[in-house]
Chain A
Amino acid sequence: MLDLRRFTGREMRLTDKLIEFNWGFLLLLVLIASIGFAMLYSVAEGSFSPWAYRQALRFGVGVCILLIVAMIDLRLWMRLAYPLYGVALAMLVAVEIVGFTGMGAQRWLNLGFVQVQPSEVMKVTLLMALARYFHGLTLEEVSRLRNLVIPVLLIAVPVGLVVLQPDLGTAILLVASGAILFFAAGLRWRYFILSGIIVLATVPVVWSRLHDYQKNRVFTFLDPERDPLGAGYHILQSKIALGAGGVFGKGFMEGTQSQLNFLPEKHTDFIFTMLGEELGLVGGLVLLVLYFIVLMFSLNVAMQCRNQFGRLLAIGVSMTFFLYVFINSAMVMGLLPVVGVPLPLVSYGGTAMLSLMFALGLLMSVYIHRNVEISRGPSAFW
């Protein structure tokens, strides 16, 4: 595509950006979300209420957010990285003090007009803050020990707060996406090996502090028969549903496992199982392929981008998206323990959908501004 800024020497106008915007990518997202609507329609025994209709509404809002975020100049996002991170951190602290608990352990904050889940907001702003930080470092500087103090703190403080909630799943996701940015920024291999050893050494300590239900999940994963009533039952039923689906599935709205309530949480965490039962291996693979295209596209955005902030941000979004898809689908197939991670764009749920669309908006902003060069020094921004 044409690079307006290089040829005209002027800033991009809104119309330029709308032309630059990758509409094919948006179509891809609509396709994935539509599979979700169809499954939610089927879960409700052929009804748009209570799930499909509201999910479609949220997706619509999400698309608006994506477009707005994508139109905003990447340099502005870079300037906002630290302030937004600060806001998210303040919300995490506030939620410890005044938050309320809903849906298990995740804490919510009531802002009067809307309820937010600060840990979801933190997932995005942490990526931004880390990308902003590493943007200012040369490759040599990245691996200097004193330069690692700040980014480690950037990760450790919110992770600590999230663990307090206690929401171990989100904490692990935060650490993982943080580690990915370290890796992408070029931190030497030996640091990863070293921290791997440290993590292994601390496993016994962490284990002793886990809640009973968390320990049970791990036990159940190792031996599903141990808890045939609870999580083990879920995994077993999920596998039966997938297996019974076969290659072509039992047909839309014909899945006995799902329709007869053998399957738990089938509108949220186990929605992939429904898809597998009703539309079979073919349906499941189509969805996986769609996801894979999204991932490869976003990786390509990262590699094409000419500024380090954009590259890191894009790869961060891409990998976080990947982790969600992988963890969720591996869980329903019995490859990972049961953790509360939704399937992006498909599982029913509001906050996760909106924060994901925000993140994808950032990815699009990187794409649109991929040819913008941003100097490394901080002087250009403050």
Chain B
Amino acid sequence: MQISGRDSNRYQTFTRRAALLGGIQGVAFVVLAGRMYYLQVLKSDQYTMLAEENRVSMRLLAPLRGNIVDRYGRVLASNRQNYRAMMISEQTPDIEATLDRLSRIVEINDFTRRRILRDVQRSPRFMPVTVAEGLTWDQFAQVNINEPDLAGIIPDVGETRDYAYGEELAHIMGYVAAVSEKDMSDAQTDRQLLRLPGFRIGKEGIEKTYDKELRGTAGSSHVEVNAYGRVIRELAKDPGKPGDEVVLTLDMDIQRFAWDRLKGESAGSVVMDIHSGDVLSFVSAPAYDPNQFNMGLSNEQWRALVDNEYKPLINKSLAGMYPPGSTFKMVVAAAAVEAGINPAQRVVCPGHYSLGSHVFHCWKKGGHGAMNMHQAIKYSCDVFFYDVARRIGINAIAEMSRKFGLGETYGFEVPGEKAGLVPTPDWKRATRGEPWHQGETVIAGIGQGYLLATPLQLAVMTARLANGGYAVKPRLTRAIGGQLLPTPRPAAIGVSEAALKVACDGMNAVSNEAGGTAFRSRIPDPGMELAGKTGTAQVRRISRAERSTGVLRNDQLEWRFRDHALFVCYAPVHAPRYAMSVIIEHGGSGSGAAAPVARDIMREVLIRNPERPQATVPSRADGKTREG
């Protein structure tokens, strides 16, 4: 061995310690063997008894899912009894034949049949598998009567989710559905509970966000089973703890009114309290019926939803991104005042605006003449804002947009929020690798170009204008499990009173001064006047070819090429409390299509006035369950 002195030192220490570790391993194995001897020899009789005679098995009981109610305790989502037929495969001599016999009572199509056979294959032979759900009382009774004929089929009563208002609330509630393989592998807790046949979890919306709270705690039942694992009798039962009730900020009356006013259109609308951010109504039309999702959709139903041109599966108020159009002009006006532009200064509008060789048009052909800022908002003059935007630059506009909550998400309780887009030169260079053109600043001045916002964001923007410049965020939850959530105290966004006043006065003029673009859609009732702003977002220009074939006006185009109609407003004008936004996809013009709808909804809000003092305590007394 040619190992040097110091290395042999190292080697000796290593050998000594390795031997010690080996000794530890040996001792550990002796401990393990000893434990096995203890369990399998000394205690064997006792454990054999436990295993052989007292086959007490623990079965989980699904807890009752918590209700979702509106701010007054009206039940929006609850549970109702679900009559179903289960099958225990080991008790069935011939699965196919049994299914054939059952299909004389309940329809079982090929798709369901494949699903059943797959489930049977996956679960142990003594585990019940759901064969049919949502049976009518008649079908259920027939299954019961024919039980001797249907070996292995067990009639069973479970719970299922009931959405009393169906599609009116689909985009808020979301839905529950069966646990998928992926849900299973993502779950950190409750894995046994999720494996229960027919157990459902929240997949979308509030059902998903508060799934844990609504789920509750599983109960258990000690049952005695025979040697084949079949239940002989129940020994003890712990019912578990039902899920928490979730109280939303919604007012179902307003929600329903807004839905009725918008259904049939492809539209989105949000009404919120400008101080607390409480969302009173949140509509995206059209929608789907969450009750159908609960039971699993048929292929045709699914295709119909996906193929619908009005996109019922998309939550437009949350994830629909639109150019804000003229509703964005208040933000540009505020940015201009902050940049030192005197609001009294006039800009002459000849009906068009030239930048280099490029000409930008005002929506009014002959032009508005000399306009100050107040008038420019009132008449929605484009040329004024082209000019102002060019003078203050895109970065000033982008900075002000962010203060008003555009280009960001708020952590809203419904998943799937989109951030929209507030473009800057840096953004364009980073994503497209192209420099920013001044013409793009000019069209950003009227809310066109790259700029994108969701209806939720436009409602927030309006709320922040109306509440004196506080960074209010929308919220949908009032209480969970009887615990009121704290009302947030928003910070100031840092916009001067002067800037806000110009914008708000302009909105007042839009709705309440003769000549304003939404004067026709004012609320005449004293004390209920609203202040609004119309917007029309261009979807596509009318091409030269179309001009030559006679298509001159937007409403002559095919539906999907027509402009989006937008309206934002707050009310009452002198003591603001509520803000809202409405977007009607391809509705034509903001003043023609969106403003009247917004006016009607806002008037309803003011009549009901859910934020009046006596309504601040949620009353749960009238929380009646709708029996299904």
A351 part of interface (Cβ distance < 8 Å): no
Which residues of A have CB within 8 Å of B21? 180, 183-184, 299, 315, 318-319
The residue from A103, A185, A230, A242 contacting B185, defined by CB atoms under 8 A apart: A103
Q: In the complex, are the beta carbons of B39 and A243 less than 8 A apart?
A: yes
Tell me which residues from 1 to 56 in chain B have a Cβ below 8 Å from any Cβ of chain A. Answer: 2-3, 6-7, 9-11, 13-15, 17-19, 21-22, 25-26, 28-29, 31-33, 35-37, 39-41, 43-44, 46-48, 50-52, 55
The residue from A139, A229, A260 contacting B58, defined by CB atoms under 8 A apart: A229
B229 part of interface (Cβ distance < 8 Å): yes
Proximity bits, A309-326, B CB within 8 Å = 1, else 0: 001100100110010001
A295 part of interface (Cβ distance < 8 Å): yes
Which residues of B have CB within 8 Å of A257? 51
Tell me which residues from 47 to 69 in chain B have a Cβ below 8 Å from any Cβ of chain A. Answer: 47-48, 50-52, 55, 57-58, 60
A144 to chain B, nearest CB (A): 14
B12 to chain A, nearest CB (A): 9
Known: A101-B186, A183-B17. A333 touches B36 (CB 8 A): yes
A335 part of interface (Cβ distance < 8 Å): yes
A300 to chain B, nearest CB (A): 9
B88 to chain A, nearest CB (A): 13
Q: CA of A19 to CA of B472 in the docked complex: distance in angstroms?
A: 76
Q: In the complex, are the beta carbons of A322 and B25 less than 8 A apart?
A: yes
Which residues of B have CB within 8 Å of A48? none
Known: A102-B186, A281-B41, A330-B32. A244 touches B10 (CB 8 A): no
Known: A213-B188, A242-B40. A288 touches B10 (CB 8 A): no
Which residues of A have CB within 8 Å of B41? 246-247, 281
Which residues of A have CB within 8 Å of B28? 322, 326
Chain A contact residue count (CB 8 A cutoff): 61
Residue with the highest number of chain A CB atoms closer than 10 Å, among B9, B15, B31, B40? B40
B341 part of interface (Cβ distance < 8 Å): no
The residue from A228, A244, A262, A335 contacting B48, defined by CB atoms under 8 A apart: A244
Q: Which residue of A lies closest to B44 (CB)?
A: A246
A285 part of interface (Cβ distance < 8 Å): yes
Known: A102-B185, A184-B17, A299-B22. A139 touches B6 (CB 8 A): yes
The residue from B33, B46, B218, B227 contacting A243, defined by CB atoms under 8 A apart: B46
Q: In the complex, are the beta carbons of A311 and B14 less than 8 A apart?
A: yes
Q: In the complex, are the beta carbons of B10 and A303 less than 8 A apart?
A: no
Q: In the complex, are the beta carbons of A329 and B32 less than 8 A apart?
A: yes
A284 part of interface (Cβ distance < 8 Å): yes
Tell me which residues from 208 to 249 in chain A have a Cβ below 8 Å from any Cβ of chain B. Answer: 213, 228-230, 233, 239-247
Q: In the complex, are the beta carbons of A284 and B36 less than 8 A apart?
A: yes
A42 to chain B, nearest CB (A): 14
A340 to chain B, nearest CB (A): 12
A268 part of interface (Cβ distance < 8 Å): no
B295 part of interface (Cβ distance < 8 Å): no
A276 part of interface (Cβ distance < 8 Å): yes
Q: In the complex, are the beta carbons of A276 and B40 less than 8 A apart?
A: yes
Q: In the complex, are the beta carbons of A139 and B13 less than 8 A apart?
A: yes
Q: In the complex, are the beta carbons of A326 and B3 less than 8 A apart?
A: no
B361 to chain A, nearest CB (A): 46
Q: In the complex, are the beta carbons of B36 and A261 less than 8 A apart?
A: no
Which residues of A have CB within 8 Å of B58? 228-229, 233
* Size bin of chain B's contact surface: 35 or more
Known: A256-B51, A299-B21, A329-B32. A239 touches B39 (CB 8 A): yes
A337 part of interface (Cβ distance < 8 Å): no
B623 part of interface (Cβ distance < 8 Å): no
Q: CA of A306 to CA of B15 in the docked complex: distance in angstroms?
A: 11
B409 part of interface (Cβ distance < 8 Å): no
Q: Which residue of B lies closest to A319 (CB)?
A: B21
Residue with the highest number of chain B CB atoms closer than 10 Å, among A229, A284, A335? A229
Q: CA of A329 to CA of B127 in the docked complex: distance in angstroms?
A: 29
Interface of B is mostly: helix
A354 to chain B, nearest CB (A): 19
Known: A243-B39, A246-B48, A247-B40. A288 touches B29 (CB 8 A): yes
Which residues of B have CB within 8 Å of A260? 55, 57, 126, 225, 228-229
Which residues of B have CB within 8 Å of A262? 57
A365 to chain B, nearest CB (A): 18
Which residues of A have CB within 8 Å of B126? 260-261
Q: CA of A365 to CA of B17 in the docked complex: distance in angstroms?
A: 22
Q: In the complex, are the beta carbons of A241 and B36 less than 8 A apart?
A: no
A376 part of interface (Cβ distance < 8 Å): yes
Q: Which residue of B lies closest to A183 (CB)?
A: B17
Known: A242-B47, A329-B32. A306 touches B40 (CB 8 A): no
Residue with the highest number of chain A CB atoms closer than 10 Å, among B21, B60, B188, B192? B21
B14 to chain A, nearest CB (A): 6
Which residues of B have CB within 8 Å of A241? 47, 51
Q: CA of A199 to CA of B70 in the docked complex: distance in angstroms?
A: 51
B144 part of interface (Cβ distance < 8 Å): no
Q: In the complex, are the beta carbons of A326 and B32 less than 8 A apart?
A: yes
Q: Which residue of B lies closest to A211 (CB)?
A: B188
Q: In the complex, are the beta carbons of B36 and A242 less than 8 A apart?
A: yes
Known: A247-B41, A276-B36, A284-B36. A184 touches B18 (CB 8 A): yes
Tell me which residues from 294 to 308 in chain A have a Cβ below 8 Å from any Cβ of chain B. Answer: 295-296, 299, 302-303, 306, 308
Q: Which residue of B lies closest to A245 (CB)?
A: B40
Proximity bits, B172-188, A CB within 8 Å = 1, else 0: 00000000000001101
Q: Which residue of A lies closest to B26 (CB)?
A: A292
Q: In the complex, are the beta carbons of B40 and A246 less than 8 A apart?
A: yes
Proximity bits, A89-123, B CB within 8 Å = 1, else 0: 00000000000011111000000000000000000
B9 to chain A, nearest CB (A): 5
Chain B residues in contact with chain A, CB under 8 A?
2-3, 6-7, 9-11, 13-15, 17-19, 21-22, 25-26, 28-29, 31-33, 35-37, 39-41, 43-44, 46-48, 50-52, 55, 57-58, 60, 124, 126-127, 185-186, 188-189, 192, 218, 220, 225, 227-229
In the complex, besides A261-B124, A284-B36, A285-B33, 11 extra interface pairs with C-beta distance below 8 angstroms are A139-B9, A186-B17, A213-B188, A229-B60, A229-B192, A242-B40, A243-B44, A281-B36, A333-B36, A333-B39, A335-B35
Listed from nearest, the 8 A-B pairs whose CB atoms lie closest are A243-B47, A244-B51, A186-B13, A281-B40, A139-B10, A260-B229, A246-B44, A244-B48
A-B contact pairs, 19 of them (CB 8 A): A229-B218, A239-B39, A242-B39, A242-B47, A243-B39, A246-B44, A260-B57, A262-B57, A264-B192, A288-B32, A299-B22, A299-B25, A302-B18, A303-B18, A303-B19, A308-B10, A311-B11, A318-B21, A330-B31
